[in-house]
Chains A and B, each alone.
Chain A
Amino acid sequence: MDELDELKQAFFEEAEEQLSDLEAQLAALAESPADAASLNGAFRSVHSIKGGATLVGFARIADFAHAVESLLHRMRSQQLAVDTAVVALLLGSRDLLHDLVRAASTGADLADGAEAIFVRQIDSYAGRPILSQNPAPSPQRLVRLQLMPAADYLARGGDPRRLFAELRRHGALSVVVDTSALPPLEALDPGAMHLRWTMALETAATVAQLRDVFAAQARADEYEIVDCGSPAAAAPDSSIAVSSADVQVSAAVVDPDAAEPPPAKGDKDMSAVSPSERDTAAIAVEDAIAPIVSSIRVDLDRMDKLVNLVGELVISQAMLAEQLHALPTGQFPQLARGIEELSRHARDLQEGVMAMRAQPVQSLFSRVPRLLRELSQHTGKRLQLVSSGEDTEIDKTVIEHLHDPITHMIRNAVDHGIELPEARVTRGKPPVGTIRLVARQAGGRIIIEIADDGRGIDRDRLRARAVEAGLIAQDRQMSEEETDNLIFLPGLSTAAAVSSISGRGVGMDIVRRNIQRLGGRVMIRSTPGQGAAFYMSLPLTLAVLDGMVIRVGGETYIVPLANVVESLRPLAKDVHTLVGGGDVLSVRGEYVPLAHIGGMFGVSGAVRDPTDGLVMLVETDDGGRIGLVVDEIVGQQQVVIKSLETNYRAISGVAGATILGNGRVALIVDVSGLRARMGGQAYAPMAEAGARAQREQR
């Protein structure tokens, strides 16, 4: 990867963060239009994106960001009111910026002119009258301008061509460039600005208006504006000399909320200092006074390699510890102390490295207010969000995979759970429905709760739909919890009408599958008439797995704890062999297919009769259950996951491998893969198999 590629990569990562921040700031702005901090935050995000895009040569992104920044500037300078329409325009613009960044990162084509429609709308806002004051047009005058950009001007998103184009909109511009500061080619920093410009502009625009143009693109100390009066009165010599007394802009004007500072010596027209100047100057000063954040960006691949190496270290330490246990007790006290210390350091190191991959769930939560606004508009339901635990941290990869499940669950909560305002009032509830979004850490896992105060799950209706769809038998006895869990079956929806929000039954099964792929589980608690809550329990990291260690013959396997439902020693009367092969086990009226791991993986010496060993009931991705026939359950253990595909090749029914303390490799069982190896028996065929077994029993 060359230098530019690295810069681009850094830009993509930073832009993603800035876009996420921007969405959160705009959401806050929609809630509180007078919130200056949110408006300033949004401006900063767009400004940063513009700067980064310019630096790496993404002109399309930079130009569009500039247009959005201009709109935000007008809002910051109180020339434009913050209302729902303008926030909606900004949210749409944010999405387009996101698309532009994504297209640049993937090399995909985004239709030419995609931004034109937004730019037209932004321009229409720019043409609206200023709220505070609309000055009368000035007569034509000559204004002398100087642009003396600092070295980091380009890196900050500055572009003289864009500035000059803006100035040309105000009148006839002549430009003289000064190249005297340009270093020799070999000493040139291509990203730094080395040129200076002096300009003469014949214009009817006021000095304040021209300051606005400059201030959106340069710091106050980078330009000078001198009003020379009428062109005829101005000196005929076009060479421009600006004395220090002519400098009207002071970088001391920084705080948009502070009272006007006293005029600096030599200032001619401090009252005309524009809010947009304050924009840029305020950012510069905020940057200067902000606490220095000592952080660096690290490529994710490097981070993963480090995580992997730490995993190796943990395994080595476990092997040493096991060797020590084999030695006579007390014979090597120093060695024991050393290994104990190594163990402690290895654990600290592992936790430290895992923490480096962790990110706050804020980036997930920040998207929810906007989602609720859209859902409210679609459904006519009044909604409010109550959230907490945004600072809770979780592995970056887990966060990336949680966005869709959370969106699905909230859509379902609003569409199926929350009632219309009138219905809520009739039921003695407040007209505004509440969605609660909570993240918290519990032990080594993260719990994310999504709850609503709606009508709760209609169990009778859910059950009827499941019977109708052939997913459960008519006479099947089910607990309330089991009935609620039917919601996760593929193709099941209780929505009376299919809508654009939910109701096609393609949501919750995907939710559970995605969560389970992350090593997590979903639980439901529903109270009729009072609401429903979904709890997602997720691992802090994907590099380490909580597993159940099992023995099959002479081999050891790991079953992800997230899949384990229960284990039992079956009675002979509960085990049935089906016609055509395969065993099922009757568990409280439900027939569960049995997977003989020993037979499937060719392990010699494994128990063949389930009653001689144990059956571990496990849940597959789509909610089906199978029973693993094992010799013995050794215990629960946290293991470091090693990719089988990277180190060997993919094997159906095996999710990966780990190295145990004794140095031996143990395979991690992929429960869904195992079921696929058994012939892809799905939930309905399982019911069918159970019914067949029942017939045989009779």
Chain B
Amino acid sequence: MRTQTAKRRNRTARKTSKATRALRVILAADETDVIALKRRLEAAVAKDRHLAIDAGAVAALTTAGVQVLLAAAASAEARHVQFRLAAGGPAMIDAFGELGLADTIASWLEPAENSRVDDAAEA
């Protein structure tokens, strides 16, 4: 049920995509500062561009951090922009999996159809 909802969200975002070049947001190894994480994601979402979250380096993510990412994904969906995971480290995948969010993160990992990642652009 969770997977279906998440897939539907991303499909909606793709159909109504506003930009073709996604904005890459690179997460740091230690993302336990949830206030800073929220600020960065807020700024990124506000740009109304598809988002590619690069979490390959994340080594520490708290439950609060997971909530921030979930809220950012929901906000992106509300603005009809994609929220995609360009890379997900084991720590992030574990955190989502342990909290019953494995389907959600799996849906973020789906390849985007109409977006290219703008490596130079960092929120």
| Residues of A participating in the B interface, judged by any CB pair closer than 8 Å | 2-4, 54, 57, 59, 154, 159-161, 164-165, 175-177, 179, 182-186, 188, 190-191, 193-195, 197
Contact = CB atoms under 8 A, between A and B. Distances in A.
B34 interface: yes
B32 A57 contact: yes
Most buried by A among B75, B78, B100: B100
B119 to A, nearest CB: 24
A351 B41 CA distance: 49
A191 B68 CA distance: 10
Interface in B1-46: 2, 30, 32-38, 41-42, 45
A195 B98 CA distance: 13
Contacts of A4: 33, 35-36
B60 interface: yes
27 contacts: A2-B35, A4-B33, A4-B36, A57-B60, A59-B32, A59-B62, A154-B63, A160-B99, A161-B63, A161-B95, A176-B100, A177-B2, A177-B101, A179-B70, A182-B67, A184-B75, A184-B78, A185-B42, A185-B75, A188-B38, A188-B71, A190-B64, A191-B64, A193-B63, A194-B67, A195-B67, A197-B99
B57 interface: no
B68 A185 contact: yes
Contacts of A3: 35
A193 B32 CA distance: 15
A165 B94 CA distance: 12
Contact of B99 (A175, A185, A190, A191): A175
Contacts of B68: 185, 188, 190
A159 B63 contact: yes
Interface in B77-106: 78, 95, 98-101
Given A191-B64, A195-B67, 9 more contacts: A57-B32, A161-B95, A161-B98, A182-B70, A184-B74, A186-B42, A193-B63, A195-B63, A197-B100
A595 to B, nearest CB: 56
Nearest to A8: B33
Nearest to B66: A195
A154 B99 contact: no
A657 B36 CA distance: 44
A190 B72 contact: no
Contacts of A2: 35-36
B65 to A, nearest CB: 8
A54 B32 CA distance: 10
A193 B68 CA distance: 11
B94 to A, nearest CB: 9
B75 A190 contact: no
Contacts of B60: 57, 59
B69 to A, nearest CB: 10
B64 to A, nearest CB: 5
Interface of B: 2, 30, 32-38, 41-42, 45, 60, 62-64, 67-68, 70-72, 74-75, 78, 95, 98-101
A185 B36 contact: no
A185 B38 contact: yes
A554 B58 CA distance: 69
Given A185-B72, A190-B68, A57 B99 contact: no
Contact of A188 (B30, B32, B67): B67
Given A57-B32, A182-B70, A188-B67, A161 B41 contact: no
B37 A190 contact: yes
A57 B28 CA distance: 14
A161 B100 CA distance: 10
Given A59-B62, A177-B2, A195 B99 contact: yes
A190 B70 contact: no
Contacts of A195: 63, 67, 70, 99
B38 A190 contact: yes
A111 B11 CA distance: 47
A246 B100 CA distance: 24
A182 B71 contact: yes
A401 B95 CA distance: 44
Contact of B45 (A154, A175, A185, A197): A185
B100 A175 contact: yes
Contacts of A57: 30, 32-34, 60, 62
A179 B70 CA distance: 8
A193 B71 CA distance: 12
B89 to A, nearest CB: 16
Residue among A154, A164, A182, A188 with the highest chain B CB neighbour number at 10 A: A188
Contacts of A183: 71
- Most B CB atoms within 10 A — which of A59, A165, A177, A193? A177
B49 to A, nearest CB: 15
Nearest to A191: B64
A3 B39 CA distance: 12
Q: List the 6 shortest-distance A-B pairs measured between CB atoms, nearest first.
A: A57-B32, A175-B100, A190-B34, A177-B100, A185-B75, A185-B71
A160 B96 CA distance: 11
B63 A186 contact: no
A73 B43 CA distance: 44
Contacts of B38: 185, 188, 190
A165 B64 CA distance: 17
Contact of B34 (A159, A177, A191): A191
Contacts of A193: 63, 67
B25 to A, nearest CB: 13
Contacts of B32: 57, 59
Contacts of B2: 176-177
Among B34, B45, B72, which residue has the most Cβ atoms of chain A within 10 A? B34
- Which among A59, A190, A194 has the highest number of chain B CB atoms within 10 Å? A190
Given A161-B98, A161-B99, A177-B100, A186 B75 contact: yes
B63 A182 contact: no
Nearest to B76: A185
Nearest to A186: B42
Contacts of B36: 2, 4
Interface-centre pick from B34, B38, B67 (highest chain A CB count, 10 A): B67
A179 B69 CA distance: 12
B95 to A, nearest CB: 7
B17 to A, nearest CB: 19
Nearest to B97: A175
Contact of A182 (B35, B41, B45, B74): B74
Nearest to A194: B67
Nearest to A54: B62
A354 to B, nearest CB: 36
A2 to B, nearest CB: 8
A251 B95 CA distance: 30
Given A57-B62, A177-B2, A191-B64, A184 B71 contact: yes
A206 to B, nearest CB: 24
B83 to A, nearest CB: 11
Contacts of B34: 57, 190-191
A197 B72 CA distance: 20
